[in-house]
Amino acid sequence: MPDSSKAFIACAGSGQVASVDLKSDKLLALLDVGKTPVHLALKPDGGELMVSNFDSDSISIIETGTNEVGGSFLIGSHPARGMVTADNSRLYVSNFGSNTVGVYDIDIGKIVATLPVGNHPDGLALSQSQNYLLVLNSASGDVTVIQKRTPKKKFEPGEYSLLTMIPVGVQPNNIVVKSFVAKSAK
């Protein structure tokens, strides 16, 4: 949690997520989610936790304040990782088994797009502007760059488009973006 009061732990073998109170060092709850929870993504506001259930082809949403599972939703084949946008509105999920990224709209509670990427997508990152989604593809050894934009005309392509794919090496599986700020000359 943003205030360091709780920790959540994915327990892949039992299909549960543990909630731990860090101030009293006590287990608060074992929450049943799907089979093989492998990744946790916390909304920036700390209100909900998104769980990627690899062997259930689903995500589960945990209400962090009450330690309750709010629901589970099919997202794709073998979801591996998730990433929530800074405005808490979208969840991107790498679907390792279907070579896609699922775009889940948190506010309306449904998948709004399925984006084709390389083979066995794994790690995800968003640019600081949130306009570029970077997807590491562990089997094809590349990073897919997807651009998010607002179409201005009626017949323009949709909100997401493949920008490029860049070869990066053998079995990439994690990524971080470092943002640089240019200082103005005086």
- Which two structure tokens, joined as six digits, stand for 47? 């209100």
Q: For the segment 170-186, what is each residue's pLDDT rounded down to a tens digit?
A: 999 999 888 776 676 66
Do residues 137 and 174 make contact, with C-beta atoms less than 8 angstroms apart? no
| pLDDT value, residue 184 | 67
69 vs 27: CA distance, rounded Å: 16
**pLDDT over threshold 70, residue 87:** yes
pLDDT band at 94 (very low <50, low <70, confident <90, very high): very high
Contact 84, 46 (CB under 8 A): no
pLDDT of residue 158: 81
Compute the CA torsion angle 41, 59, 55, 32 (nearest 10 deg): 90
**Residue 166 confidence class, pLDDT cut points 50, 70, 90:** very high
Classify residue 106 by its DSSP letter: T
State mean pLDDT over 69-95. Answer: 96
At 44-60, the pLDDT tens digits run 999 999 999 999 999 99
* Cα 131 to Cα 81: distance, rounded to the nearest angstrom: 19
- pLDDT at residue 29 tops 80: yes
152 pLDDT tier (thresholds 50, 70, 90): confident
Strands in 48-53's sheet, in edge-to-edge order, are 37-42, 48-53, 58-63, 68-74
pLDDT at 61 over 80: yes
Residue 151: predicted pLDDT: 72
What average pLDDT does this structure show over 92-113? 96
* Closest-CA residue to 134 (of 162, 96, 95, 99): 162
Supply the pTM of this predicted model. Answer: 0.91
Q: Residue type at 140?
A: S
Structure token pair of residue 100: 């896609």
The strand pair at 160-167 and 37-42 is best described as: unpaired
Q: What does the pLDDT read at residue 120?
A: 98
